[in-house]
Chain A
Amino acid sequence: MSRVAWLRLAVILGLIGLLEALCRLGVINRFTMIPPSDMAEALIKLLQQAKMRAHIGETLRNVAIAFVLSVSGGFVAGVVIRAFPRFRLALDPLLATWYAVPFFMFYPLLIVIFGLGDLPVIMVGVAFAAVAMIIATLNGLDRIPPVLRKVARLHRLSAPRRALLIDLPCAAPYLLTGVKLGLAYSFIGVIASEFIMSGSGLGHEIAFAYNNFDNRTMYGLMLFVIVVVTAANMALHVYEQRQIRKRSRG
């Protein structure tokens, strides 16, 4: 591990230790937050419950569906939008302001259209994540140097082979950024919509625990979300950095 990585780990452990001490010493009220060690203990107990594992499984499944749909759909949409410059010009303001709109205000409408359950939850996840992938795809394709297209023609590559052998790898760092954002937004969209549009799933369980002053369950599940999201993002981040290092002057 590099020195920076050790330093990063030390900062995280230091903050956890500080939080632990503040909670144990009563500086932070137990009704506000339980110590991190109790959160971990609560999480281990929660993971032993079949009912809770089912909730977690449901959320992870919905996140996975939203992620796959938003990344694949966002990529295809990006390619199509780029193929029609006037259409793209018309869409640009919408794409630019997408994340400025508080999407969850539309939840009554989504309930009317999709009802309660998995579908509206997944739809919110997709709506949140797909735009990041569309923007990343447009950025990536815009940055393919025209000279590489000439090289592709000199090698007499067909359009699909050019896309596969030149366009995709060339745009890969931008697409990877879209994938990373897509994953984060899928988690946000799915879990946040479970708070208000679902009778099950992690978001619903956290909200339910909160409403019943069940801090151990609430913080245990929050810890689970933090660990999973951080691990998934770190894995993508490490891969992304490796790709960037390969392409930048070393």
Chain B
Amino acid sequence: MTESHAELKGVTRIYPASGSQGEVHALGPVDLALRRGEFFTVVGPSGCGKSTLLDVLAGLARPSAGMATFEGRDLNGQVPDGVGAVFQEDSSFPWLNVADNIAFGLRRAGTEAAEIARRVDYALGFMGLADFARAFPAQLSGGMRQRVCIARTLVLQPRLILLDEPFGALDAQTRLLMGDELLRLWRETKATILLITHALDEAAMLSDRVGAMSARPGRFIETLATGWTADRDSRIVSDTRFGEITARLWSLLRDESLRAIGRETKR
């Protein structure tokens, strides 16, 4: 786990002025080196640029300054092969059933029908959706729809999985269970995962390392190694170390969150 898989070097993202809104310095400068196969989580106050960071790493946004690389190649605002992302908003396709949703990317890539069927079957089973292959997203719960989106990403076998608060809309118990599934997925795929979340307990439970960001413009104020073994699951919430990590994260973020709220109140 020492090789750098994806990297941000001095990345800044400034949104140009539009209408009555002046220029917004959303992110950076930020440096981040994701090790191959690690589970890295980013936490930070609202509006600190976490999603912008993810967009830059996915190649969905071009940095205003600095450089984003994946497997040594400069992204420059282009989505590279081998990167998948899941967002907080439901991004399942309502006009396709679960199996067709999952197969979407494979069909676009021209994968053979037999291989599509094999991978989709595997993903359906892995994500606990086997009984819902012919169901449409509207017939599923929010958690199941997110699993569909994760499965759609998973079948493409990405080497870097970016997750932007994928469980943000779910209740606490479902989130813990989804966390377990995510850890299982991570162990199985051996992919590098970058998770963005507001939930400090989620970050403390799931991650190898947690990066805490400052209020806007977001910078990393500290990166914390959790020291968990790879076979962890949600039962570690009863571990004293879990409480210590969560407390440490909160002590790092409390002032930043107050700053963010203060800034929002003044506006």
Q: Which residues of A contact B (CB under 8 A)?
A: 145, 147-148, 150-151, 153-157, 161, 165-166, 169-170, 172, 243, 246-250
Contact = CB atoms under 8 A, between A and B. Distances in A.
Given A147-B87, A250-B139, A153 B60 contact: yes
A247 B96 CA distance: 9
Nearest to A172: B95
B98 to A, nearest CB: 12
A128 B207 CA distance: 60
Interface string B60-98: 100000000000000000010001110101110111100
B203 interface: no
A144 B226 CA distance: 40
Contact of A247 (B79, B89, B95): B95
A170 B104 CA distance: 14
Contact of B91 (A148, A169, A172): A148
A173 B93 CA distance: 13
A145 B93 CA distance: 10
Contacts of B94: 170, 246-247
A156 B59 CA distance: 11
B-side interface size class: 20 to 34
A248 B95 CA distance: 10
Contacts of A169: 93, 95-96
Contacts of B267: none
Contact of B136 (A154, A161, A166, A247): A247
Contacts of B93: 148, 166, 169-170
A162 B145 CA distance: 21
7 contacts: A154-B60, A155-B104, A161-B108, A165-B108, A169-B93, A170-B94, A246-B95
Contacts of B96: 169
Nearest to B88: A147
A91 to B, nearest CB: 20
A248 B60 CA distance: 30
B169 interface: no
A151 B95 contact: no
Given A147-B87, A166-B93, 19 more contacts: A145-B91, A150-B85, A150-B87, A151-B87, A153-B60, A155-B105, A155-B108, A156-B79, A157-B108, A161-B108, A165-B108, A170-B95, A246-B138, A247-B136, A247-B138, A249-B138, A249-B139, A250-B138, A250-B139
- A-B pairs with lowest CB-CB distance, top 5: A147-B89, A169-B95, A247-B94, A147-B91, A151-B91
Contacts of A172: 95
Contact of B79 (A153, A161, A246): A153
Given A153-B79, A154-B58, A156-B79, A248 B87 contact: no
A249 to B, nearest CB: 5
Nearest to A151: B91
B160 to A, nearest CB: 12
A60 B107 CA distance: 41
A149 to B, nearest CB: 10
A113 B224 CA distance: 77
Residue from B79, B84, B90, B94 whose CB has the most chain A CB atoms within 10 Å = B94
Interface in B174-188: none
Contacts of A154: 58, 60, 79, 83-85
Contacts of A246: 94-95, 136, 138
Interface string B82-124: 0111010111011110000000110010000000000000000
A151 B153 CA distance: 10
A150 B91 contact: yes
A16 to B, nearest CB: 38
A247 B104 CA distance: 18
A122 to B, nearest CB: 33
Contact of B60 (A150, A161, A166): A150
Nearest to B136: A246
A147 B166 CA distance: 13
A169 B136 CA distance: 14
Interface in B134-179: 136, 138-139
Contacts of A170: 93-95
Contacts of A150: 60, 85, 87, 91
Contacts of A161: 108
Contacts of B89: 145, 147
Contacts of B58: 154
Contacts of B85: 150, 154
B91 A248 contact: no
A154 B94 CA distance: 18
Contacts of B60: 150, 153-154
A249 B85 CA distance: 26
B7 to A, nearest CB: 20
